[in-house]
Amino acid sequence: MSSFQLVGRKHRPEDTVIAMDGCRIGGQQLTVIAGPCAVEGEEQMLALARELKGMGVHILRGGAYKPRTSPYSFQGLGEEGLRILAAAREYTGLPVITEVTDARYMEKVCHYADIIQIGSRNMQNFTLLREAGRCGRPVLLKRGFAATIEEWLLAAEYILNEGNEQVILCERGIRTFETFTRNTLDINAVAAVKELSHLPVIVDPSHGTGRRSLVGPVSRAAVAAGADGLMLEVHQDPDRALSDGKQSLTPAQFAVLMDELRSLAGALGRRL
Amino acid sequence: MSSFQLVGRKHRPEDTVIAMDGCRIGGQQLTVIAGPCAVEGEEQMLALARELKGMGVHILRGGAYKPRTSPYSFQGLGEEGLRILAAAREYTGLPVITEVTDARYMEKVCHYADIIQIGSRNMQNFTLLREAGRCGRPVLLKRGFAATIEEWLLAAEYILNEGNEQVILCERGIRTFETFTRNTLDINAVAAVKELSHLPVIVDPSHGTGRRSLVGPVSRAAVAAGADGLMLEVHQDPDRALSDGKQSLTPAQFAVLMDELRSLAGALGRRL
Amino acid sequence: MSSFQLVGRKHRPEDTVIAMDGCRIGGQQLTVIAGPCAVEGEEQMLALARELKGMGVHILRGGAYKPRTSPYSFQGLGEEGLRILAAAREYTGLPVITEVTDARYMEKVCHYADIIQIGSRNMQNFTLLREAGRCGRPVLLKRGFAATIEEWLLAAEYILNEGNEQVILCERGIRTFETFTRNTLDINAVAAVKELSHLPVIVDPSHGTGRRSLVGPVSRAAVAAGADGLMLEVHQDPDRALSDGKQSLTPAQFAVLMDELRSLAGALGRRL
Amino acid sequence: MSSFQLVGRKHRPEDTVIAMDGCRIGGQQLTVIAGPCAVEGEEQMLALARELKGMGVHILRGGAYKPRTSPYSFQGLGEEGLRILAAAREYTGLPVITEVTDARYMEKVCHYADIIQIGSRNMQNFTLLREAGRCGRPVLLKRGFAATIEEWLLAAEYILNEGNEQVILCERGIRTFETFTRNTLDINAVAAVKELSHLPVIVDPSHGTGRRSLVGPVSRAAVAAGADGLMLEVHQDPDRALSDGKQSLTPAQFAVLMDELRSLAGALGRRL
């Protein structure tokens, strides 16, 4: 697998660490990104953001532009969602991450967000990747749900090739024949990408499993496999969430998981 | 599978037929779209276009904006490629189809092309789908290489929902564990979509197999399963093609296939 | 793919034709195997057998030992089922095929049946393959539902390597992410195996689709792709079948399909 | 998923613990099974067995009957391999596990081995499952490489339904589109099966990854996800192994992993 260059360990042997205002992604640190699947309203977002900060979360997440399989599903609040995210940052001091789904929205999203997310369905949207390479912000690149490890690294290569070296890879499960879980989280890929690339790798067990009860064990597994962090969906009332409720943790469940992860981090020589 | 509406047989029981200048897609007619994977130069394109017209091809294809896995691969000629395609239309009188990879290129592509293609990697690029729904041209929507039949129909629903009913579905193979072929052409899906939807369905055996020697048998199979047409890659010198040479037919091989398809069409009560 | 030898075209360039009492498998002839998924009773089997013979079927099928996912499902009639199959042969003069699921049953099954079937789940039951190679009967080898084309040919190699060259390959669909159909019939594999191997290849659209309404179109596709025959489930009352009712044709539907296949065979230069 | 009964948590809420001479599988204990893929000779096996015992391994593994994709690959030493395994048990006092590939070998394998392994390719060899249910020994049931979680649990149900409740489930990776790794280890399934069933679950990262360098991280992940143990391939000279050398650890690499696992076990409240 020698088709990529800039993202490879040969190009840069040491781990890339992305330093942001108040947090670092990569290196010895474990980074936890948490928040609702979609931003649903300001009050909800601010209350949750404060709670998550209190539990030690480093970065807030929340979708404003939601890619949805059906045109009849909730599509996100758009710019209003971005505004609310920025308010949550003001309120908590935590950086925020949100997805950009079209090159035309890049400037607007960069205006509000600290980290740009490229979603699974857009991993091979090459014009969007090129824009992300010129946007001046760290980019979290989710693996396409049917992308090989090589294709994923080559998608990152598009971003680095435009001059942006601040790329965070995110494994979020692949599509297989198994139907009990929403996706099959590829734990092999986490270890493989740490070996092949110098970029930080985080894991999204919420999409990777699609089932609340599996998020805890799979989060622990991701950290034990060497992931540099986790991205988790948390919602105050998952049964009423406008999207992905079945895979969202309640704040109480999330607090338990954070404690488990801290104990695990210690045994693995990492910090949380 | 009741999640889609406008694309379903319940909404419109009879087959949708798309009438274009000089050809029809859907109904009793079999439609053959052919040309090189990528437009590589004007001379090449015009010579091939004339040859293909002589063999009975209805629509010319050729990529100007090429989505490529690696940033270091040939990315297509861009607007120059569009211009050459338009010249081929002038020269032959045949309509042309080409892929649009970004909503920002939609207007330009519509200026040159008769049919807009949305590629497999963009099947769930929902902002692009919405633009396609407002572009005023027929749209050929390729199935995502890991999209279920339902997701594919819902992607078409995005286009119809914006008011554009001229959608052609194109099965081009899905990603499976099999590595002998580039993709696994899903012949079940061809029959399934003809049952579920009123939209015309065509098949791309070039990408669906990735192997020149399998293109003929799989083309015949597609027609026998009820497809309304085929999209085929043809190149004068496949071994020197800038992309997808291994799956391109030579003009001579293509001529043999056209003869076989004509004989088959007769036995199936269709016209070619 | 040079890992196999005896099954390859290099070893024997011309098509293998298996001659049986009253029928041939391979060559110009198309062979149709039909019958119920499981033998359910003598009266049912004899009545259906006579009807199928009248429609031009060449070989009767029916399961006596049924591999079932759950231990609580109907497991087949066992030796009583074999006896009924033999009675159907007496009654119609047609050869019969049935599945053997364990090397210990090989002798008994060979006593009653003309062709031995090795099912998808046993494609890599290597001791069973070796016994099949010594059983003295033609063997129909179904592709494992997650076997690559190479693994399938190597499984056949096990049989030929024991001295039995009368092997019929049967494509029956592979497991993919698609859930609308029970399996994804791999039409590429039909064409590929005809190219790679001299062995006859037939297709099972009943398991390959899992849906009655798709069996017709996919049967036509299989023949157009070059298959040497079909294996189809037919049941007088599919809704009450003890297994696989959803994918079984009624005799009336089967009769329509036979007519379509005859017309198609002519256009392809084959005989039915 | 209510199709299984005896293997479910509803039938027995508390974890099943399998007690053997000198070790327990399930409960608080983590169990490590290690050894070569195939038994290759007595001297090799005894030397390795002694070394593994010294590192804290609980159970020795080694294949005598090897299911191989090609008839031309090394097929194992057969009964001589069983005899050598028994000698390794005498020499070390550790129980031994080996695979049975045919119901006719069950009695012989039970004569030599303490635990019977049913391999991935035989997970739906239902006559073999029934024999395993009557064999009087604990049975390690590997998940089929294309089996759903439900099918895997139903295969175990076949064994319990014959009266044998001593079943150990073993996740060993599933087949997906990814080719960088030999299989995709399904970490979701480990957590899911611990939730659905009372049976102990162990993980085989050697087959699950197919790459030596990934075995360590994925072993740690398996334990963090809640697995009750690991099954690992170790070989003194992996490059000369008669099978699966690329995924075998050297004894030195294995020793490092054991230390990591001990530290991890402590943080997770388990014993190793």
Q: Hey, are the CB atoms on B185 and C187 less than 8 Å from each other?
A: yes
Buried b (16+ CB within 10 A) or exposed e, C231-244: bbbbbeebeebbbb
**Cα-only R_g, chain C:** 17
- Among chain D residues, CA nearest to C131: D102
ipTM: 0.96
Q: Hey, are the CB atoms on B176 and D179 less than 8 Å from each other?
A: no
Distance CA C216, CA D165 (A): 46
- Among chain B residues, CA nearest to D183: B177
Chains with 3 or more CB pairs closer than 8 angstroms to A?
A: B, C, D
Structure tokens at B119: 């590629």
Collapsed DSSP state (helix, strand, coil) of residue A61: strand
| A:B CB pairs within 8 Å | 64
Q: Report the sign of the C-alpha dihedral through residues C36, C37, C42, C43, in that order.
A: negative
Q: Going along chain B, which residue ranges are E strands?
A: 18-20, 23-25, 31-35, 59-61, 96-99, 115-118, 139-142, 167-171, 201-203, 229-233
Q: Are B85 and B112 in contact (CB under 8 A)?
A: yes
Mean pLDDT of A56-85: 96
Q: How confident is the model over C27-59, as pLDDT tens digits?
A: 999 999 999 999 999 999 999 999 999 999 999
Structure tokens at C215: 């069996």
Q: Hey, are the CB atoms on D127 and C104 less than 8 Å from each other?
A: yes
Average pLDDT over chain D, rounded to an integer: 96
Specify the CATH number for A18-66+74-264; select among 3.40.50.2300, 3.40.50.300, 3.20.20.70, 3.40.190.10: 3.20.20.70
Structure tokens at C134: 């010594």
- Among chain C residues, CA nearest to D149: C69
| B:D CB pairs within 8 Å | 8
**Short-list D138, D123, D120, D124, CA closest to D67:** D120
Q: Hey, are the CB atoms on A149 and D180 less than 8 Å from each other?
A: yes
Taking only the tens of pLDDT, chain C with its 272 residues reads 668 999 999 999 999 999 988 889 999 999 999 999 999 999 999 999 999 999 999 999 999 999 999 999 999 999 999 999 999 999 999 999 999 999 999 999 999 999 999 999 999 999 999 999 999 999 999 999 999 999 999 999 999 999 999 999 999 999 999 999 999 999 999 999 999 999 999 999 999 999 999 999 999 999 999 999 999 999 999 988 888 889 999 999 999 999 999 999 999 999 99
Q: Hey, are the CB atoms on C176 and B176 less than 8 Å from each other?
A: yes
pLDDT of residue A2: 65
- Among chain C residues, CA nearest to A145: C177
Give the gap in angstroms from C-alpha C22 to the nearest C-alpha of chain D.
Answer: 33
Q: Which of B67, B145, B157 sits opposite A126 (nearest CB)?
A: B67
Q: Which of B176, B221, B267 sits opposite C187 (nearest CB)?
A: B221
Q: How confident is the model over D5-27, as pLDDT tens digits?
A: 999 999 999 999 999 888 899 99
Q: How confident is the model at residue A235 (pLDDT cuts 50, 70, 90)?
A: very high
Give the gap in angstroms from C-alpha B62 to the nearest C-alpha of chain C.
Answer: 24
Distance CA C149, CA C4 (A): 11
Class of domain B18-263: alpha beta
Q: Are C39 and C85 in contact (CB under 8 A)?
A: yes
For chain B, list residues with pLDDT below 70: 1-2
Which residues in chain C touch residue B9, judged by CB atoms under 8 angstroms apart? none
- The residues of C whose Cβ lies within 8 A of any Cβ of A are 146, 175-177, 179
| Length of chain A (residues) | 272
CATH 1.10.1740.10 holds for D18-262: no
Q: Which of A148, A217, A218 sits opposite D179 (nearest CB)?
A: A148
Q: Which of A69, A103, A125 sits opposite B154 (nearest CB)?
A: A69
Question: Which of D188, D228, D263, D270 to mutate to test binding with chain A, by most A CBs within 10 Å of its CB?
Answer: D188
- Among chain A residues, CA nearest to C178: A177
**Enclosing H/E stretch for A188:** helix A187-196
Which residues in chain C touch residue D3, judged by CB atoms under 8 angstroms apart? 70
Buried b (16+ CB within 10 A) or exposed e, A243-271: bbbebbbebebbbebbebbeebbebbebe
Q: Which of C174, C178, C192 sits opposite B148 (nearest CB)?
A: C178
pLDDT of residue C1: 64
Q: Hey, are the CB atoms on D179 and A222 less than 8 Å from each other?
A: no
In chain B, where the domains are located: 18-263
**DSSP conformation letters of D69-106:** SSTTS----THHHHHHHHHHHHHH---EEEE--SGGGH
Q: What is the DSSP letter of A240?
A: G
Tell me the angle at which helices D42-54 and D251-267 cross, rounded to the nearest 10 degrees.
30
Which residues in chain A touch residue B127, judged by CB atoms under 8 angstroms apart? 101-102, 104
pTM over 0.90: yes
Domain C18-260: homologous superfamily in CATH = Aldolase class I (3.20.20.70)
Tokens 């009332």 correspond to: A237
Chains with 3 or more CB pairs closer than 8 angstroms to D?
A: A, B, C
pLDDT of residue A3: 87
C-alpha separations of D45 from C21, C98, D84, D117 in Å: 54, 43, 7, 19
- The residues of D whose Cβ lies within 8 A of any Cβ of A are 1, 146, 148-150, 173-174, 176-181, 184-192, 194-195, 208-209, 211, 213-214, 217-218, 220-226, 263-264, 266-268
Mean pLDDT of D64-73: 94
Which residues in chain B touch residue D174, judged by CB atoms under 8 angstroms apart? none
Give the gap in angstroms from C-alpha B266 to the nearest C-alpha of chain A.
Answer: 39
pLDDT of residue C8: 97
- Among chain D residues, CA nearest to C151: D69
Q: Hey, are the CB atoms on B177 and C148 less than 8 Å from each other?
A: yes
Q: How confident is the model over D134-190, as pLDDT tens digits?
A: 999 999 999 999 999 999 999 999 999 999 999 999 999 999 999 999 999 999 999
Distance CA B125, CA B117 (A): 13
**Enclosing H/E stretch for C214:** helix C212-224
Neighbouring residues of A52: CB distance < 8 A, sequence distance ≥ 6: A34, A35, A60, A92, A94, A234, A251, A254
Distance CA A185, CA A33 (A): 18
Neighbouring residues of C135: CB distance < 8 A, sequence distance ≥ 6: C106, C110, C116, C164
Which residues in chain B touch residue D146, judged by CB atoms under 8 angstroms apart? 177
pLDDT of residue C2: 65
Q: How confident is the model over D93-125, as pLDDT tens digits?
A: 999 999 999 999 999 999 999 999 999 999 999
**Short-list A75, A61, A131, A69, CA closest to A103:** A131
Q: Are B244 and B209 in contact (CB under 8 A)?
A: no
- Among chain C residues, CA nearest to D145: C146
Tokens 């804290």 correspond to: D56
Chains with 3 or more CB pairs closer than 8 angstroms to B?
A: A, C, D
Which residues in chain B touch residue A158, judged by CB atoms under 8 angstroms apart? 71
- Among chain A residues, CA nearest to C145: A177
Q: Which of B180, B263, B267 sits opposite C192 (nearest CB)?
A: B180
Q: Which of D1, D148, D264 sits opposite A267 (nearest CB)?
A: D264
In 10 A of CB C20, how many CB atoms? 17
Which residues in chain C touch residue B266, judged by CB atoms under 8 angstroms apart? 267
Q: Are D226 and D194 in contact (CB under 8 A)?
A: yes
Distance CA D30, CA D229 (A): 5
- Among chain D residues, CA nearest to A193: D214
Structure tokens at D222: 């398996």
Which residues in chain C touch residue D104, judged by CB atoms under 8 angstroms apart? 103-104, 127
Give the gap in angstroms from C-alpha D18 to the nearest C-alpha of chain A.
Answer: 23
pLDDT of residue A244: 84
Collapsed DSSP state (helix, strand, coil) of residue D241: coil
Phi then psi for residue C201, to 5 deg, are -125, 125
Give the gap in angstroms from C-alpha B122 to the nearest C-alpha of chain D.
Answer: 19
- The residues of D whose Cβ lies within 8 A of any Cβ of B are 146, 175-177, 179
Collapsed DSSP state (helix, strand, coil) of residue B39: coil
Q: Which of A67, A103, A151 sits opposite B102 (nearest CB)?
A: A103
Q: Which of C146, C175, C177 sits opposite A175 (nearest CB)?
A: C177
Distance CA B53, CA A1 (A): 42
Q: Hey, are the CB atoms on B146 and A151 less than 8 Å from each other?
A: no
Q: Hey, are the CB atoms on B68 and A126 less than 8 Å from each other?
A: yes
